[in-house]
Amino acid sequence: MESTKKIARSTLAIILFSLIGKILGFYREALRAAKFGATSEMDAFVASQSATTVISALITAAIATTFIPSLQKAERDLGHDEKLNFTNNMLFIVSLVSIGVVILGIIFAPFLASLVTPKDKLSPEMLNLVTKLIRVTIPVIIFSSIAGVFTGYLQYEGRFAAAGAIAIPLNLVFIFYLLFLSHKGGIVGLSIASVLGVLAQILFLMPDTFRTGFKFKPALNFSDKYVKEAAILALPILVSTAINDVNIIVNKRLAMGMEVGSTTIIDYANKMNVMVLGVFITAITAIIFPAMSRAFGSGNMIQGKRVMSASVKTVLFLTVPATVGMFILARPIVDIAFFYGKFTQQNAIDTTATLRFYTLALISISLSNVLNRVYYSISDTKTPFYIGLINVLINVGLNVMVAHKFGTRGLACSVSIATTISVLVSFVLLRKKIGHFGAKTYIKALIKTLMASFIMALVALLYYPIEELVLANVSSVASTKILKLIILLIVTGLAATVYGICLYKLGVREIRDVVKIVKRKLNNRKAEKLTSKEN
């Protein structure tokens, strides 16, 4: 039985692994901004990524999500051997289908380019470049599909560390290219690196997969009932789990019609927002989905609701202060990450403002990811699908109304409003599905979190007077950036500490449980030391 404490410990472990990957991702984006800036060439790269790697990421999410419930049923009905046969069957089928998709993508690359590039705003040269980059990048779909099967299998087996650290090999490939090869390979080479990065993820996942006892065996059975079930679930899950990415694709498409560099600014701002999502929410959903699938699948509604409650509260405790902190400290974060090389002062100003509006969606996107997993655990994929459609329609409608007035800021704000409305709808509909799930306890947790975040915000605001004081007589760009980073780390660490103390004083049980665990371990170590001295 998965307890709240076990979920909390597992989540913290994955966060540590994910954090390493996201720090590397932060460095990757900083290098990319320095090497390529916010130029028309980068706009073409971002547009091509929207048509290839973003789509491949959606496929990966859909496969990993549908794979876990089907895998559980295969093992429950037919045993361990059928679980391995089903996994091999999925690997061969998704690989075959992906190859077909890649072939079609190469043939229809000009059409895909036209979808992400407004012809009335950009030159034929830009369209040709986007088409070329799509053809270079589209094989990533094959590797992403395979990575999706491996990720779902490892999560089902409880091997969360490798799945949580999957961003590390991807970012290392990008960083190596940007540091040593970008001057030769240019933007085309960057696209090739994006494909090789996903291939590196597969190689990274394989050792842990084999340690579970998995072995490759030829298998190709389209009539397998578990494969059919996964395929039926895949389409609605594909949409509902990828709403944020769909909204970003829409925003990038509209940004292509704005001034040069707008698409890249949208991309940089979203990358910073997604970094927080990747560290925390990936960890939470990786833990809770198998746990909830087992609980709800076995008819244990009480345990399923407990896992859900622990997950929602954890999301609130993490994302509310993250939202406040990102909003307040957006300017130094963008300056440290991007503001050098070809990235201009105006680029930094626009990215900062856009990031702040994207940050407002952090809580709702995170809650949406958790709630979608609850729906999937009770074998309901239609509701998240319809909620996702509502989300996209609201976002597009708002974009049409405000994009021409507020630029990238308006695009980011539209995403925040749309996701907030959709998550509220999701809560209401879920209560009708599973009954009472302790909404009052969520409200109490939110109030306490907001109170603690307010105190934390006062500490975070200290960054600016400290920065002004420390940097008053510093002229070197390199020294300024290093000092800003040091100040940011100190202030962030202090703010996080104050936030944790506030939650403890407010009587938040989850925080007190963590403190008890730490105290118990420290006391055990002291006892062991005393015993060893006596002996």
pLDDT one-digit tens code per residue, 60-89: 667 766 777 777 777 777 777 778 888 888
Q: What is the pLDDT of residues 446-462, one digit of tens each?
A: 899 999 999 999 999 99
Cα end-to-end span (Å), the chain: 39
Please state the rounded mean pLDDT for residues 165-187.
90
For residue 334, the model assigns a pLDDT of 86
pLDDT band, residue 39 (cuts 50/70/90): confident
- Weakest mean pLDDT among 305-314, 415-424, 490-499: 305-314
Report the pLDDT value the prediction gives residue 2, as an integer from 0 to 100. Answer: 44
* In a domain? residue 507: no
In percent, the amount of the chain with pLDDT more than 90 equals 18
Residue at 389 is within a domain: yes
**Which region among 97-101, 113-117, 468-472 has the lowest average model confidence (pLDDT)?**
113-117
Q: Where are the alpha helices (DSSP H) in 256-361?
A: 262-297, 301-328, 330-338, 345-359
Residue with tokens 């859909």: 62
Total-model pTM: 0.68
Range of the domain at 370: 4-437
Give me 222's structure tokens. 């389209």
Residue 415 falls inside a structural domain: yes
pLDDT in tens, 278-287: 666 666 676 7
Cβ atoms 4, 306 nearer than 8 A:
yes
> Does a structural domain hold residue 229?
yes
The pLDDT value given to residue 475: 73
Position 5 pLDDT exceeds 60? no
Mean pLDDT of 42-58: 76
**For 259-277, what is the mean pLDDT?**
72
Check whether 321 has a pLDDT greater than 80: yes
- Catalogue the long-range contacts made by 293-300 (C-beta closer than 8 Å, 24 or more residues apart): 293/68, 293/69, 293/72, 293/376, 293/377, 294/2, 294/72, 295/2, 295/377, 296/377, 296/378, 297/69, 297/72, 297/73, 297/377
The reply to whether 81 falls in a domain is yes
Examine the pLDDT at 121 and tell me if it is beyond 60.
Answer: no
Encode pLDDT of 342-390 as tens digits: 777 888 888 888 888 888 888 888 888 888 888 877 878 788 888 888 8
What total of structural domains would you count in the chain?
1
Residue 457 lies in a domain: no
Q: Is residue 494 part of a domain?
A: no
Interval 174-194 mean pLDDT: 91
- The pLDDT score that the predictor gives to residue 495 is 93
What does the pLDDT look like over 468-482, one tens digit per residue?
888 887 777 777 888
Q: Do the Cβ atoms of 72 and 230 come closer than 8 Å? A: no
Residue 535 resides in a domain = no
